[in-house]
Amino acid sequence: MNSLGERLKKARERKLLSQIEVFRMTNINNKTLSRYEKDGTEPDIETLKALSNLYEVSTDFLLGKGSEQIEVEAIPYTVKEWLRADTTGLTIDEQKLLQEDLSDYFEMRRKQIFKRRK
C-alpha cells in the first residue's frame, strides 16, 4: 500500500501542479509539502482537507481508507515537458491565446473524465 506521502505526491502530479504552485494556491510552504510527500512529517487535519480539496480527492483516499481507492497515476515526464513547451517565436498575445485554449481544453477533458467516474 502507498504511504500518505506517496498518495499526496501522486494526487498533486495528477493535477499537473508543482510544489511551488501548491504553495501559491494554499500558502502551504513548498518545503513543508516536500516533507509531507517524503513522509518526513504528516499534515494536520486542516492542511489535509485543503490538499484534498485542491487535488479533488477525499481525505479518506489520501489516508488510504475507504472504497475510493482510485488509481492516481503520475503524468509521464514527457507529457509534462510538452505542457511546458517552448513558445519562443510566439507573440505575447499568441502565448496568451495558446494558454487560454489549453486551459479550456484541459478543463473540458477533466469534467468529462470526472463525469465518467459517476
Segment 55-101, tens digit of pLDDT:
888 898 899 886 554 554 545 545 556 666 677 787 888 878 887 88
Residues 94, 49: one domain?
no
Q: ∠ at Cα 43 (29, 22), nearest 5°?
A: 35
Number of folded domains in the chain?
A: 2
Is 77 within a domain? no
80 located within any domain: no
Based on the domain organization, do 8 and 56 belong to the same domain? yes
Is there a domain that residue 29 lies in?
A: yes
Long-range own/partner contacts, residues 79-86 (CB < 8 A, 24 or more apart)? 80/16, 83/16
pTM: 0.58
Judged by DSSP in three states, 10 sits in helix
Q: What angle do CA 90, 91, 94 make, to 5 degrees?
A: 80
Q: Residue 44 sits in which domain range?
A: 4-63
- Could you tell me if residue 12 is inside a domain? yes
Task: For residues 84 and 9, give the distance between their C-alpha atoms in angstroms, rounded to a whole number.
Answer: 19
More confident residue, 37 or 10: 37
> Do 8 and 59 belong to one domain?
yes
Question: Is 96 a member of any domain?
Answer: yes
